[in-house]
Structures are given as C-alpha cells and as structure tokens.
Amino acid sequence: MNPYFAYQTLFDEKLNDFLLSIDKNPASLYQPMRYIFSLGGKRIRPLLVYIANDLFNGKTENATPIALAVEIFHNFSLIHDDIMDKAPLRRGKTTIHEKWNNNVAILSGDALLVTAYQQFEKVKTEKIISLLSIFNKTAAEVCEGQQLDMDFEKRKTISIDEYVYMITLKTAVLLGAALKMGAVIANANEKDADALYHFGKNIGIAFQIQDDLLDVFGSAEKFGKQVGGDIICNKKTWLLIRAMQDASPSDKAEMKKWIEQKEFSAKDKVEAFKNIYEKLKIKEKAEMEMKRYFENAKNDLLMVNADSIKKKTLLVFSEYLMKREN
C-alpha cells in the first residue's frame, strides 16, 4: 500500500477534529463552513504537504497545521469561486450560495480564510516566517488568477500562453506551495524546496487542463459538477482557445454565434461545442499538452536530492492524479 493512503487517514482525522472545533454558533456562519468539507474531495494539497515533509524525513505532526491551512484555504477559494461563476453544483452537491445565499457564502468563506491563518499559530518551527511568506504570496497569486479568469470572460480572444499563466496562478501555485511548505518545515534546503515547487506547478497546470477536459467529456456523476458548465458560461478554457485557434472559418463562426447568444438551450450549446471539439481532435491535443507538463514535472523531481523510493511515492501519487475521472 502506498504511504499516501496512510496520510489520507491521518489527515481525515485531523480535519474531523477541526470541523468539530467549528461546530458552534452562530450556526448560520459555521454550518456552511462545515458543509463545504462534507462534499468530499481527494484532499490532494494536504497530502502533498505530508509527502514533501516525509521526503526530507520531517516529523508528520509538524506538517499537520500546514496541511490543514492549505486545505482550508483551498475550500475558502472554492466557495468564492462558485459565487463568481454562479455555479449550481460542487462535487455533485448544491453550492453554498445556492443552498443558503450569496451573503452567507461570502462570510463563511471569509471565516474559513481566517481559520486557515490560525493554523500557523500551531506551527512549531523557527521557519514560521518563511512558511507565512510562501503562503501569503500564494494566496495573493490565487486571487490574481481568479481575477484574470473573470477578466478573460470579457475579452473576445486570449492566447494559450495567457491562459496557462492564469491557471498557473489560480490553480498550480497552490500545489507548488503545498510541496514547498512541506519541504521547508522538514528543513529541506532552498534548492530542493524550489525544485519541488516547480514540480507542483507543472503538475497543477496539467491538472487544470484535465479539469477543462472533464468539464466537457466527463460525466456529472463522476465529475461532481455541471458537465459543460464552462461552455455554458463562455469560459475561456484551454479547449476553447485551442479550438478557436484551429477551427475553420465556418466552425469558428458557429462557436462565436453560440457565445454571443443570450438565450439558448444549454444542452444544444454544449453538444455543438463538443461536436466541434471532436472534429478538431481537441481532446487528444489537450491530453498531449497534459503529458508535456507532466514530463516537465518529472524533470523537476529529478533535481530534488532525496531518497529515490520516497520520490517514487510522490511520482506515483502524481500519476494517480493525472488518471482521475472526477
């Protein structure tokens, strides 16, 4: 059995302790905070903290507050993202702003952000300033990425490079930060910690492109979100940008027609885009791009001076992420 399963069990216990600590009044604030965690998830980011910490023989108990901080922050960002995206579903369940209202979702998200920072009070290391510096930089970058994502919705065209920069900020840097903080708390040197950070960023970019793929080609039951939601909202995904780049004039005109329509059948719109994507082999092209970033990540991992068996554990875990169907 791979070690990350043991980390999963450990983190689930620590997360449950955290959730019990916020089972208090006012219920209208804390119940939504607990609800977002009840929706599940693979807890990828905290597991990366633990794996990176173990890579340098760190103490697991020292990594736990960082693991909690990263996962709490991630869920805070999901709550606010869902509000801005007007998303009806998160992991197959009703989103907080739909179940309660926007005000409750905003405030419960804010409170989660505060509790993420409170976890650093429990970190027992002289490197607390370094850890907070990584966390603060990452938190700001995630906000920058979300703003760029919204800005892109108002623009008619963006490039693949612009899109990759946006998802690097919005998604990838948090995976990189989870690994880097796990390494730092285990007293890894700067070179190794930075190599792990770049490993995480490359995995994160591949992970987001996969997310774009699942939005179109996944199933609602497995994906846990509204299939075709990005298409319905005219989100600039890797798939749409590449399709616009590769499309014939007639296919490009059809996509633009759907994008500009204010009233439409969501089912018909998703089907129209899916047909064009299949014609242009966008799925295959996206999978090739995912593979390219994954290979970049593997090269980053080669630069890390650590036990080869433990590095293999991290690589296996990353391969597992790339094979997800939801």
Three-state secondary structure of 278-294: HHCCHHHHHHHHHHHHH
Cβ distance 207 to 322 under 8 Å?
yes
Q: What is the pLDDT of residue 219?
A: 66
Average pLDDT over residues 248-256: 97
- Confidence class for position 224, pLDDT limits 50, 70, 90: low
Number of domains in the chain: 1
Query: Which has the closest alpha carbon to 197: 175, 166, 170?
Result: 175
CATH number, domain of 304, equals 1.10.600.10
pLDDT score recorded for residue 25: 96
Interval 109-132: pLDDT, tens: 999 999 999 999 999 888 999 999
Encode pLDDT of 254-287 as tens digits: 999 999 999 999 999 999 999 999 999 999 999 9
β-bridge mates for residue 89, sequence order: 94
What is the rounded average pLDDT of the residues 181-202?
A: 98
* Digit-coded pLDDT (tens) for 7-51: 999 999 999 999 999 999 999 999 999 999 999 888 999 999 999
Of 23, 21, 69, the closest CA to residue 46 belongs to 69
Residue 9 belongs to domain spanning? 3-322
pTM over 0.75: yes
193-205 average pLDDT score: 97
Upstream peptide bond of 32 is cis (omega within 30 degrees of 0): no
Q: What is the pLDDT of residues 85-113, one digit of tens each?
A: 888 888 889 999 999 999 999 999 999 99
Secondary structure E strands in the chain: 89-90, 93-94
**Average pLDDT, rounded, for the chain:** 93
| DSSP per-residue letters across 30-72 | HHHHHHHHHT----HHHHHHHHHHHHTT--HHHHHHHHHHHHH
Q: So what's the pLDDT on residue 6?
A: 87
Q: What is the pLDDT of residue 89?
A: 85
Name the residue among 36, 58, 16 with its Cα closest to residue 193. Answer: 58
Beta strand ranges found along 113-204 (DSSP E): none
pLDDT at 226: 64
How far apart CA 285 and CA 282 sit, in angstroms, is: 5
> Which tens digit of pLDDT belongs to each residue from 148-183?
999 998 888 999 999 999 999 999 999 999 999 999
B/e letters for 310-322, b = 16+ CB within 10 Å, e = fewer, are bbebbbebbeebb
